[in-house]
């Protein structure tokens, strides 16, 4: 019996089409899941969709990958070279984690210089009545352990000390020992206790020229004392992992953009001599011109979707705010409560852990996110700019904190 060549060819074609059909079905199912996760500008419901998130991270081109994590090179003070006093230093953390880092450092330096006991702060939000305990956001045990040998710490002010009668003292960020001796110590000696507040005459993140004990203490306080408490850490981790899941076409890598549209009308953005704030359209054009592709995943720090972000989503459809990626069972606690402090914490830590960070607004969040990223080796920070040509090299827009290594964090890590 002869072999019919036409039947063999027909059989091969049938098998080939069957295999292609299976792949198409699998692909359609995957894309349907991603489309559901991506959504539009509306809220996206978080579901327990299991996707394969194993990937080989890129280490070339735009993404660069992570550099080696640096090691802390600060040292705790040796011995107790400060005379102990009986008073207390109390203070509050305010305005979000980008401020907390500086506030905690200044309070530790002042309390140590005075020989006083530092009282663990409460946390105040930007709205009246927004007040919570330190341990609602940060790990209190980690903080207290980090302060061993540096300064005495009390969890609360003793009952016999009235917080209503404590003298208020303001100090500039990156306070010096000379400033403390001249402006703070006389009040402390006179009143016995002080309430401290840090103000920010400028964003001072200069690298220390000659590192002394005060700088080492500042390093420890800024980068070695504040860790998120477990619930907050789990929430941030789950949101970062979700962004990586949505970024399968870029091997799990994503961009975080600090862009809050309400800030664009503020004085700091309007009165700058040099352009320091960029809107959604300007950011979108910048990202495209330096080479990011349309399917790149972008996280934006804007809390709720705003129509002024539409131009960014037009060029990068996989653009999300936190309301789209927060787990459904956490939404009522972290978003629906309208607690701005918790939302700022989410933004700060996602921006610190993204593969690329783009500060569309120059300010303290940019400065302190950069410090966190330097320590962890995540140095791909691209500062937006107007690009007249159709394309440009991303390396030309690397943050000067990184390219010049002039950030204070380079005094703390090596």
Per-residue pLDDT of the chain (414 residues; tens, 9 = 90+): 455 666 665 666 666 665 555 554 444 443 444 444 444 443 443 444 344 444 444 545 688 766 678 899 998 876 566 789 999 999 999 999 999 999 999 999 999 999 999 999 999 977 777 789 999 999 999 999 999 999 999 999 998 887 778 999 999 999 999 999 999 999 999 999 999 999 999 888 988 776 778 899 999 999 999 999 999 999 999 999 999 999 988 889 999 999 999 888 887 787 777 888 999 999 999 999 999 999 999 999 998 899 999 999 999 999 999 999 999 888 887 776 666 788 999 999 999 999 999 999 999 999 999 999 999 999 999 999 999 888 888 889 999 999 999 999 999 998
Quote the pLDDT of residue 42: 39
* Cα–Cα distance measured from residue 127 to residue 68, given in angstroms and rounded to the nearest whole number: 40
* Cα–Cα distance measured from residue 335 to residue 343, given in angstroms and rounded to the nearest whole number: 7
Tell me if residue 391 falls in helix, strand or coil: coil
Quote the pLDDT of residue 82: 76
Residue 114 tokens, joined:
């005075």
Residue 120 tokens, joined:
């663990």
For each of the domains in the chain, give its residue range(s) and CATH number, in order of start.
50-68+229-412 (3.40.50.11350), 88-224 (no CATH)
Quote the pLDDT of residue 48: 41
Q: What residues form DSSP beta bridges with 195?
A: 90, 168
* Cα–Cα distance measured from residue 15 to residue 171, given in angstroms and rounded to the nearest whole number: 77
Residue 317 tokens, joined:
């459809």
Longest dimension (CA), the chain: 114
- Asked whether the beta carbons of 233 and 239 are under 8 A apart, the reply is no
For tokens 């009952």, the residue is: 159
Quote the pLDDT of residue 18: 57
- Model's pTM, two decimal places? 0.84
Burial class from Cβ neighbours inside 10 Å (0-12, 13-18, 19+) for residue 11 reads exposed
* Cα–Cα distance measured from residue 164 to residue 195, given in angstroms and rounded to the nearest whole number: 10
* Cα–Cα distance measured from residue 282 to residue 387, given in angstroms and rounded to the nearest whole number: 9
- DSSP states along 216-261: HHHHHHHHHS--B-HHHHHHHHHHHHHHHHTTGGGTT-EEEEE--G
* Cα–Cα distance measured from residue 330 to residue 134, given in angstroms and rounded to the nearest whole number: 20
- Asked whether the beta carbons of 112 and 89 are under 8 A apart, the reply is no
Tell me if residue 74 falls in helix, strand or coil: coil
């Amino acid at each position: 019996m002869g072999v019919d060549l036409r039947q063999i060819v027909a059989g091969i074609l049938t098998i080939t089409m069957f295999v292609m059909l299976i792949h198409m079905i699998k692909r359609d199912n995957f894309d349907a899941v991603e489309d559901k996760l991506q959504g539009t500008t509306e809220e996206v419901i978080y579901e327990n969709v299991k996707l394969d998130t194993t990937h080989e991270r890129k280490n070339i081109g735009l993404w660069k990958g992570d550099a080696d994590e640096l090691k802390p090179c600060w040292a705790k003070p040796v011995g107790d070279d400060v005379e102990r006093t009986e008073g207390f230093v109390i203070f509050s953390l305010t305005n979000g984690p980008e401020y907390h880092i500086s506030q905690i450092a200044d309070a530790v330096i002042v309390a140590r210089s005075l020989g006083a006991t530092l009282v663990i702060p409460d946390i105040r939000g930007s709205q009246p009545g927004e007040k919570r305990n330190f341990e609602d956001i940060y790990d209190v045990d980690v903080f207290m352990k980090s302060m061993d040998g540096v300064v005495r710490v009390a969890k609360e002010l003793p009952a016999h000390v009235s917080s209503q009668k404590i003298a208020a003292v303001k100090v500039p960020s990156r306070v010096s020992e000379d400033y403390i001796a001249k402006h703070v110590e006389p009040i402390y000696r006179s009143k016995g206790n002080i309430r401290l507040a840090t103000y920010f005459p400028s964003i001072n993140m200069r690298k220390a020229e000659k590192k002394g004990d005060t700088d080492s203490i500042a390093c420890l306080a800024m980068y070695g004392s504040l860790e998120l408490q477990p619930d907050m850490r789990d929430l941030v981790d789950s949101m970062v992992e979700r962004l990586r899941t949505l970024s399968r076409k870029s091997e799990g890598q994503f961009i975080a953009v600090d862009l809050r549209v309400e800030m664009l009308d503020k004085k700091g953005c309007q009165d700058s001599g040099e352009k320091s704030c960029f809107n959604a359209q300007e950011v979108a054009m910048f990202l495209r011109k330096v080479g990011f592709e349309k399917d790149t995943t972008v996280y934006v720090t804007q809390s709720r979707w705003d129509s002024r972000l539409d131009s960014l989503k037009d060029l990068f459809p996989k653009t999300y705010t936190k309301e789209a990626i927060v787990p459904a069972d956490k939404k009522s606690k972290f978003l629906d409560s309208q607690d701005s402090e918790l939302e700022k914490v989410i933004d700060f830590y996602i921006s610190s852990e993204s593969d690329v960070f783009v500060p569309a607004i120059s300010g303290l969040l940019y400065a302190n996110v950069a410090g966190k990223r330097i320590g962890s080796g995540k140095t791909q920070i691209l500062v937006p700019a107007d690009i007249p040509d159709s394309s440009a090299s991303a390396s030309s827009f690397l943050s000067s904190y990184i390219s010049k290594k002039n950030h204070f964090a380079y005094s703390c890590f090596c």
